[in-house]
Structure 1
């Protein structure tokens, strides 16, 4: 495809495409072969300011719309998402190298989230509160915060784009999206979806560009009152400082080094299947990926052989073949990181039970054994199809090893012993825990998020109310009680 054949994506501001202020565009590449897929506006701080101002104006113009109106947008958007699922899936395949099965999961989740979000506008409720003052009526309201900024990652751009924008709109706010540079076209499709769903112009806006150059202009803008971010822990810490300085609300969903624990009494076949899904879905480019797998010593060899055999059979062919699980690593920089982690482990004595090789931009499903603390892969997030196996002797040791990390996003345990399962759920330092299931799971209404360096706050149709709205206390002194006892 020639560069002049690719239409540039302009910002979406105030309900219309808007060219970048300095006329510059950047290239988004298809990760299969790094061919040109699209061009998008390279945003400037001035572009960000224009988007936030448009959002603030639209918020003030539409803040008194009824719950029924916002409910209607969600219902219409869910129907449109269902109608256009194949178009969104095609973009996910070609823009971010998503196997079609994973792309289908994103479109189904987006539809489900929109349906769940349709109930949010009618749940934004306050309460009446007893007052110590005679004759005084005391009550509380939840009000929208105003302009919400969202920053989404490349790996699940549709899920995160829908999560962030739907909750902002459903709660009466305006929204400005800064999507990953690797996924601009998905964001453009979202803009068209919200427009067709009837969202008034200016309530949903997009500024494309390099987050390192314009991210601070967005998160630090004085009219942005809440921030929802998904990305690295390093950037999350930076955003938290900006939010604190500006007294802004924020939610951070960050990195992970998620443990999966397999006890000797586990169903090994199911545990292997869960491990395969937990680390190799979307070629390991998932924050909840089980990059550390702890197996009780009596079954360690048996599990290792079964897991390695299953990994060796994973398909890395046509991304539109439902059987394909492994696609390309997103970029040259990320490919170099995955290679470095594998090579460092190999060079320092780790054993490669499966994978370790590449076909083009596709890294084969890689399983390491004998990983030691000095290896990069031991503590750092690889964000690729690479996991490490470790033996343990009892649950005390498994918990100690699993908790020995700065991260705390997701964890899983396989056991038939309910006491072990419940103890693990209580003592693991993780925001999410799954028993006899993969580390990868999400639903629209659950409190999704992590602890420690894996995040701050929670996402979901219930949890997001904490950053998308704020409390207002109102008291009314009736005439009959004025001058009475206090």
Structure 2
């Protein structure tokens, strides 16, 4: 156990209130760390440190920022075991998932190393004789980032690396359930050479201090990953204050299995799509639609595979299911399953608990009056539904307020492409799981699943601002006569 203080201006700073909160290991809810409980004054200190550092370092060459990314990747490779240990003990990541997070983060840092040299504009023809016209991209200033508990390293690296690579300062408000991972990021960026004040962290309850950060007059852009409810609230703050923002929110992602699909591959992909990290993933395939002629065969094979999904030692490579993050979230998972059962749904596999771990749960016969039909469970729970035509499958897939990720398994290219075009989703994967991400892609969703996109290309839209510059020749007549 350790105490974790804010990281402001290149130093660890105790909370102004003197208060700390408990960070628990979700395996047994034992105390893992004591964490600074931030106040609005702490937020203000972090933002102002970012403002001062941005003004001091805004003209650093691209090569310097590029160097931070390469160095950070080297450090993370060296310390990969340390990052994985925290992911396992702080948020209950099975080691396979912790390994995926560290590999992705390292890859993202290397991809972000190319960003500083891509912050460029263009020359533009001018209607005025003798006038040279060009556009520039410039850093916006201070970027605020709010990250979730489920992939704290991926999101922490995505947000901070892009802000720093584009020349901004960054203030991070991490999930209350993943502060120690954020503390590692402070050490990472410091060792990588990032000047004091360009990377800052304030810990605390987002419901109490989130508005102080996102609404701060000197925060120019916001990048948030979390629930749709909070995302809509942040969007309102950003709109009122004319701030740039991106939101990566919840999901109720559909996976379609057509009769001509490779059944074994579809079962394996569905298993990964919903039970990786015990279903605490926004892209989780919590709705699986199977063509009626193969529905029973798929249900039998999938339920059998789900019943073999291993719970247990998080450091064992074959373990798939770890603990649900908190008692509040465990109650949500239980209530969704209990409500479905009480209203007539059949449990094909799972719905059993071992300590804080829920077994891989597969439901059949779920109807629209059940909570689990529309709401995101954010746990290892999925429902199977039959369909007769592709048109019906598309209609069912789109019958949700969410639109993050979708997947279809078929050997028919026409069906696959039709689904890709008609699915109301920010991402569509053909013959692949609903879970996938890469550093350079436009990652994000539609409807209640988000606003804007993340990625080394897409993030330029909120991390930089366009500026138009003209130069008039001293010898030319700007009137054109």
| TM-score over 0.5 for the pair | yes
1:482 CA displacement: 2.4
Residue of structure 2 equivalent to 1:311: 306
Residue of structure 2 equivalent to 1:299: 294
1:480 CA displacement: 1.7
1:481 CA displacement: 1.0
Secondary structure, counterpart of 1:277 in structure 2: helix
Aligned length: 481
Q: Distance in 2 between matches of 1:265 and 1:125?
A: 47
Deviation per residue, 1:162-202 (Å, 9 max, x gap): 00000000000000000000000000000000000000000
Pairs within 5 Å for 1:70-219: 70-219=65-214
Please, which of 379, 383, 389 is the counterpart of residue 388 of structure 1?
Answer: 383
CA contact (8 A) 2:128 2:478 kept: no
Residue of structure 1 equivalent to 2:422: 427
1:317 CA displacement: 1.1
1:484 CA displacement: 4.8
Q: Distance in 2 between matches of 1:350 and 1:7?
A: 45
CA contact (8 A) 2:405 2:427 kept: yes
Residue of structure 1 equivalent to 2:11: 16
Alignment of 1:403 with 2:422, yes or no, is no
Alignment of 1:275 with 2:270, yes or no, is yes
Q: Distance in 2 between matches of 1:99 and 1:449?
A: 25
Q: Distance in 2 between matches of 1:7 and 1:119?
A: 36
Q: Distance in 2 between matches of 1:268 and 1:402?
A: 20
Secondary structure, counterpart of 1:36 in structure 2: strand
Residue of structure 2 equivalent to 1:67: 62
Q: Distance in 2 between matches of 1:50 and 1:245?
A: 23
1:41 CA displacement: 0.1
1:483 CA displacement: 5.2
What TM-score, normalized by structure 1, do the two folds share?
0.99
Pairs within 5 Å for 1:358-397: 358-397=353-392
Deviation per residue, 1:427-461 (Å, 9 max, x gap): 00000000000000000000000000000000000
Secondary structure, counterpart of 2:402 in structure 1: coil
User: Which moves more between the two structures, 472-481 or 93-102?
Assistant: 472-481
CA contact (8 A) 2:156 2:182 kept: yes
Secondary structure, counterpart of 1:479 in structure 2: coil
Q: Which runs of 5+ in 1 are unaligned?
A: 1-5
Q: Distance in 2 between matches of 1:429 and 1:485?
A: 50
Pairs within 5 Å for 1:466-481: 466-481=461-476
1:485 CA displacement: 1.6
CA contact (8 A) 2:163 2:169 kept: yes
1:343 CA displacement: 0.1
Alignment of 1:231 with 2:226, yes or no, is yes
Residue of structure 1 equivalent to 2:351: 356
Secondary structure, counterpart of 1:475 in structure 2: strand
Residue of structure 2 equivalent to 1:341: 336
Deviation per residue, 1:111-162 (Å, 9 max, x gap): 0000000000000110000000011100000000000000000000000000
Q: Distance in 1 between matches of 2:457 and 2:309?
A: 37
The change in CA–CA distance for 1:480 and 1:208 in structure 2 (over 3 A counts) is same
Residue of structure 1 equivalent to 2:454: 459
Residue of structure 2 equivalent to 1:3: none
Q: Distance in 2 between matches of 1:186 and 1:224?
A: 23
Q: Distance in 1 between matches of 2:115 and 2:349?
A: 46
What TM-score, normalized by structure 2, do the two folds share?
1.00
Q: Distance in 2 between matches of 1:246 and 1:220?
A: 7
Q: Distance in 1 between matches of 2:479 and 2:462?
A: 39
Q: Distance in 2 between matches of 1:424 and 1:296?
A: 14
